Amino acid sequence: MGLLARARQDCVAALLDACGDRPAFDWLRAPEVGAVMVRGRTGGTGAPFNLGEMTVTRCALRLATGEVGHGYVQGRSKPAAEAAALVDALMHTDAAREVRAGVLGPLAREETARREARAQKAAATKVEFFTLVRGED
């Protein structure tokens, strides 16, 4: 679900549609845009405090075959939340393998590549500072 939440907004829907026709479903909770209060910890490890909110879109649905799917995605895209919930539901069906290969696999590869690229750029800026000898013993 994390992959689905963090994916670029139109990505999941496009990958899902490439896997074939979408199954029939009913809404358990129609897509809604809201906010989640993000918390941090004092000093990184201490008591929690409220840092600020982020936008999140969520929904829940039930396939005609009975499987339930939940979608939680960052941002304000209702189609993205719908696609995420469908993927979540399909992972409980016989189509799981296909969906894993067609949607989750590409998302994971894209995310890994994106993170690795930034980590490599960061590593290229690693610096060694030398303290110059100041003349005293």
109 near other proteins, rule: CB under 8 A: no
Residue 89: count other Cβ atoms within 10 Å of its Cβ: 24
64 near other proteins, rule: CB under 8 A: no
Whether 24 and 63 have beta carbons less than 8 Å apart is answered as yes
Interface with other proteins (CB under 8 A), residue from 21, 26, 128, 137 = 128
105 near other proteins, rule: CB under 8 A: no
Comparison of 73 and 104: residue with beta carbon closer to other proteins: 73
103 exposure class (CB count in 10 Å sphere: 0-12, 13-18, 19+): buried
Residues binding other proteins: number (CB under 8 A): 53
Q: Name the segment binding other proteins (CB under 8 A); options: 2-10, 11-19, 89-97, 102-110.
A: 2-10
134 near other proteins, rule: CB under 8 A: no
In angstroms, the CA 48 to CA 40 distance is 6
From residue 17, alpha-carbon distances to 11, 84, 128 in Å are 10, 12, 49
14 near other proteins, rule: CB under 8 A: no
In angstroms, the CA 8 to CA 4 distance is 9
Binding site for other proteins (CB under 8 A): 1-2, 5-6, 32-56, 58, 60, 70, 72-76, 115-129, 131
